[in-house]
Structure 1
Amino acid sequence: MSRLLTVAAAQLGPIHRADDRASVVRRMIALMQQAKARGADFVIYPELALTTFFPRWYCEDRVEADQWFETAMPGPDTQPLFDTARALGMAMSFGYAELTPEGRHFNSSILVDRTGEIIGKYRKVHLPGHAERDPTRAHQHLEKRYFEPGDRGFPVWRFENGLVGMAICNDRRWPETYRVMGLQGVEMVVLGYNTPTTNGHSKTETLADRLFHHRLSVQAGAYHNSTWVVAVAKAGVEDGFPLFGGTLIADPSGKIVGELDHEEDGLLIHACDLDATRFGKETMFNFAAHRRVEHYDLITSRIGVGAPLGTTD
C-alpha cells in the first residue's frame, strides 16, 4: 500500500525590510489555508520565511542585525501560524533566523507536526558568501557575518509516516548534504532557499545558468539518494534586490514533477508516494550492497584540494 504525503511547496514573494512579522505570518496562513483546501497534508515554506534576506546588508555592529532573529519559536508573532496549523491539522516546515539563549546565531528550519509541536530543528551547515564588506560585489552576501555554521549535522526524523530531512539554500549544492541523509534512509528532503538572480560578482553568469544549476543540484540529490526533494523559494524583488523563483518538486528518480513559473506567493501541490523511494534504494543506490567506504577517506580528511593520489605503477 502506498504511503502518500500530499505536500504544498508554499513559495513566498518578496518580503521588504519595512514588512513586519505579523503581515508575513498572515501571508503564510493564507497559503496554508489554501493548501488545506486543496488537499495538502504538509506545507513547506522557504528559508528566512519571516523576514527579508537581511544578509545583503552590512551592519558594522552585528548586534544591529538581531532585529531579524527569533529568540523564541513560536513567539508572539508566529504563534498564530502554529495555532492555524493545529486547527487545520497541517504539518509544516519553515526557515528563520535563530538567536539562542546563549547568544548564538543560526540560519535554521524546523519540522512541526499536525498538533503544532516542533519535532525537529536543522541549522544550515554550508554558509556561502563572506564576513566583511566586499566593494567588488554588486550586492553583499554576509551570511558568514551573521550566522554560525550549523552544529547539528544533517539528521533525519520519523515524520508523517516517513523519513524526512531538512536542508537550506546553499546546502543543496553539496552532495554530502543528501548523502548523509541518504545513509539514514531519507525519503523526503525539504529545502528552503533565497537565491539572488545574480551572484554579485560574475559578469557572464545568466539567470538561465543559475536556474540550471539549481535544478541540477536538486535533481542530482534526489536521484543519487532515491528521495523526494521539495525545494521552495522566496522570490521576487526585495527592496530592489531580485531573488529567483524556481520552486520545484523532484521525485526519487530525479525528475521534476512540478515547478512554479512566477516569483509571487503561490503553491505547488503534489501527492508524493514515499514508497516510490524503494526502487532506487533497493537497486542502483543500494548502499549496503555497493558502497566502498575504504576509498572515500579524502571526503572527510581534506577540506580543500590537495596532492593527487595517482601512481605510475
Structure 2
Amino acid sequence: MREIVIGGAQMGPIQKADSREAVVERMIALLKQAKGAGCDLVVFPELCLTTFFPRWYMEDPAEVDFWFEREMPNGATKPLFDAAKQAGIAISFGYAELTPEGQHFNTSILTDREGNIVGKYRKVHLPGHSEFDTERAFQHLEKRYFLPGDLGFPVWRNMDALMGMCICNDRRWPEVYRVMGLQGVELVMLGYNTPSVNSQMADEGLEKRLYHSDLSMTAGAYQNSTWVVGVAKAGDEDGHPLMGGSIIVDPNGYVVARAAGEGDELIVHACDMDACNFGKSTIFDFARHRRIEHYGRICSQTGVERSA
C-alpha cells in the first residue's frame, strides 16, 4: 500500500483589502490542523493569496501587477514554506505569477515534504473575456490578465506517487485528465475560484453549478483511474459569492470527502495510490484499448466543423 494522507484546505473568502500576510496566517492554521490529522500533503485553492481579482476591470498595469507574485517563495509566503517544512507536509497552492520576462500566468506549484518546489503548472484553459462586458452580471477577466499556460500538463514523481496539477476551468476539459493519464498520473490536484452565480445565466443556480463541478472531477478520476483532489476558495468576497464544494475523489469516481461549508475548512482522506492500479490495468488499460487512429480530430481543430 502506498498511502498518502491528503488534506484539502478549502479557504473562505479573501477580501480585496486583506493582506497576503493575513492570508498566509490562515493557511498556516489549516496546515497545523493537517499536521494534527496526520496529513502528508495539503492542497490549497487557486489564487489563494488574494481575492479573485479578475472580477475587477483594471486598465493601469501597475494596479494589475499588485496582485502578482514575482518570486516564490517570497517574503509573504516564506513562513508558509517554513511551516510546511517543519511539519514535514508537502503543499500545493495557486497564485498569480509575474515572470522576470513580464509574463502573467495563473499558476500552481507543488512542493516535497522538505519545502522544495518540485512542480509548477500554469493554467491552460482561461475562461471569461478580455474587455469589459456590459452584458454580464459581473466581470470574469482572466483572458485580460493572464496568458494561457505554456508548460502543458506534466506529471511529477513525489512521495512515491505520480502527481499532476490543473486549475479551475481546466477541470471541465477531459483532455486535461487524459494527457496526465497517459503519463500514469495517480493524483490530480486542482484549486478553483468558481462564482456561485453564472454571470451569463442567472437562473442556473448553485445546485447545478456544484453538480457540474462534481461531474467534471468524478468523471476525470474514473476515466483515468486516478485520485482527484479539488479545493475551492469560497464565500462572499466583497459582495461576490464563490461556491465551495471541495472534494476528494477516488480512482473509481466516488467522492470520499466533501467540505460542509464555505469557510476555512480541512477535509482529509487516506489515499492509497495502489487503488489506481486495477482501473489502469483493466477497462482503462490505454495500451490495449485506445484507438488513436480515430482521434485525430481532437488535436487538429478547435471549433465545431459541421458536415452538413
TM (norm. structure 2) is 0.99
Which residue number in structure 2 is paired with residue 237 of structure 1?
236
SS of 2:184's equivalent? coil
Which residue number in structure 1 is paired with residue 291 of structure 2?
292
Q: What are the within-5 Å matches in structure 2 for residues 153-168 of structure 1?
A: 153-168=152-167
CA deviation map 1:203-236 (0-9, x unaligned): 3211111001000000000000000000000000
Which residue number in structure 1 is paired with residue 146 of structure 2?
147
Specify the code of the residue in structure 2 equivalent to 1:298. Answer: R
List alignment gaps of at least 5 residues for structure 2.
none
Which residue number in structure 1 is paired with residue 301 of structure 2?
302
Which residue number in structure 1 is paired with residue 48 of structure 2?
49
Pair 1:261 & 2:256 matched: no
- Partner Cα separation in structure 1 for residue 83 and residue 292 of structure 2: 46
CA deviation map 1:51-91 (0-9, x unaligned): 00000000022432110100010000000000111111110
CA deviation map 1:129-188 (0-9, x unaligned): 000000111110000000000000000000111000001000000000000000000000
- Once the two structures are TM-superposed, the CA of residue 199 in structure 1 deviates from its matched residue by 1.7
Q: Indicate the larger mover: 193-202 or 60-69.
A: 60-69
SS of 1:204's equivalent? helix
Q: What are the within-5 Å matches in structure 2 for residues 87-106 of structure 1?
A: 87-106=86-105
Which residue number in structure 1 is paired with residue 118 of structure 2?
119
Specify the code of the residue in structure 2 equivalent to 1:210. Answer: R
Pair 1:225 & 2:224 matched: yes
- Partner Cα separation in structure 1 for residue 87 and residue 206 of structure 2: 38
- Partner Cα separation in structure 2 for residue 150 and residue 61 of structure 1: 23
- Partner Cα separation in structure 2 for residue 260 and residue 203 of structure 1: 24
Which residue number in structure 1 is paired with residue 7 of structure 2?
8
List alignment gaps of at least 5 residues for structure 1.
none
- Partner Cα separation in structure 1 for residue 226 and residue 102 of structure 2: 35
SS of 1:109's equivalent? strand
Which residue number in structure 1 is paired with residue 68 of structure 2?
69
Overall identity of the aligned pairs, in %: 63
Which residue number in structure 2 is paired with residue 128 of structure 1?
127
Aligned length: 308
- Partner Cα separation in structure 2 for residue 261 and residue 269 of structure 1: 12
CA deviation map 1:9-62 (0-9, x unaligned): 000000000000000000000100110111100011000010000000000224
Q: What stretches of structure 1 move > 4 A for 4+ residues in a row? A: none
Which residue number in structure 2 is paired with residue 195 of structure 1?
194
- Partner Cα separation in structure 2 for residue 279 and residue 289 of structure 1: 14
TM (norm. structure 1) is 0.97
- Once the two structures are TM-superposed, the CA of residue 308 in structure 1 deviates from its matched residue by 3.0
Specify the code of the residue in structure 1 equivalent to 2:120. Answer: K
SS of 1:68's equivalent? coil
- Partner Cα separation in structure 1 for residue 15 and residue 143 of structure 2: 22
Pair 1:58 & 2:43 matched: no
CA deviation map 1:86-115 (0-9, x unaligned): 111110000000000000000000001111
- Once the two structures are TM-superposed, the CA of residue 201 in structure 1 deviates from its matched residue by 1.3
